Amino acid sequence: MDSRNDDAALIAQELFEWSRQCLEPARSAHGGLPSCPFAKQEWTNGQIIIHITEDLDSVVDLKAHYPPTENQSHLIAWTGWDEMTADEFNDWIDEQNASHFGVWLMGFHPDAPEDETIPDLKLPDDWPETDDYAVILMQSLSRVVAASQQLLGTRYYESYSNEDMQMIHNRKESHDAWKEKVDEVVYRQREEDEIARRSAQKDS
């Protein structure tokens, strides 16, 4: 492998370790559940696809042309993270989610304030050094909303602020409004197809 492939393989391994060490163990801040309750199962089932890119345009292309299915997640390492401040990066994530088209993004910027509920990744002293990168998780919005609804029946959100809970509520409303529009378009298309089929039968 060339050096780029070596770096990509190492970043992929670091992402796996970050999930294993930081996201999968149970945390009191999340009611005794993992920070990401479904991460371990997704890794085990091969549902996570890792991408490494220098360009956010490729993330937009991925969202538009190869969106995650209900049974997979895209985990993206963005190596061009120093082109944006943490606030600018968060604004970009918000802009993408404002026009989500059924795909939801979450992001972690290297310069963002530390999340006290998620510990630092600890790697062996002899672990090869890699450049910093931002992390973007891209998932089906339907899947994200379904997971949140499931967790509402647990203690997972007991430490969340009212503002955080309102954001989760708003996300579900955005999903439901989008889903209603999609279902309406599908229904109309089926009606048009049926009318065309009957017309073709009558003419034959």
Report the percent of the chain where pLDDT is more than 70. 88
Number of H helices, E strands in the chain: 6, 6
Confidence (pLDDT) at 2 = 40
**Exposed, middle or buried by CB within 10 Å (0-12, 13-18, 19+), for 58?**
middle
**Model pTM?**
0.86
Instruction: State the chain's maximal CA–CA distance in angstroms.
Output: 77
Tell me which DSSP letter residue 66 carries. S
Dist. CA 194–CA 201, nearest whole Å: 11
Dist. CA 71–CA 131, nearest whole Å: 30
Q: Among candidates 43, 27, 70, 39, which has minimal Cα distance to 157?
A: 27
Confidence (pLDDT) at 3 = 46
Contacts of 17 (CB under 8 A, 6+ apart): 121, 123
Report residue 4's pLDDT band, with 50, 70 and 90 as the boundaries: low
Structural domain boundaries of the chain? 3-159, 161-204
Q: List pLDDT tens digits, range 134-158.
A: 999 999 999 999 999 999 999 999 9
Q: List pLDDT tens digits, range 68-126.
A: 998 999 999 999 999 999 999 999 999 999 999 999 999 999 999 988 888 889 999 99
Q: What is the sign, positive or negative, of the torsion defined by CA atoms of 14, 16, 19, 20?
A: negative
**Comparison of pLDDT for 128 and 136, the residue scoring more:** 136
Confidence (pLDDT) at 182 = 84
Confidence (pLDDT) at 116 = 85
Report the percent of the chain where pLDDT is more than 90. 77
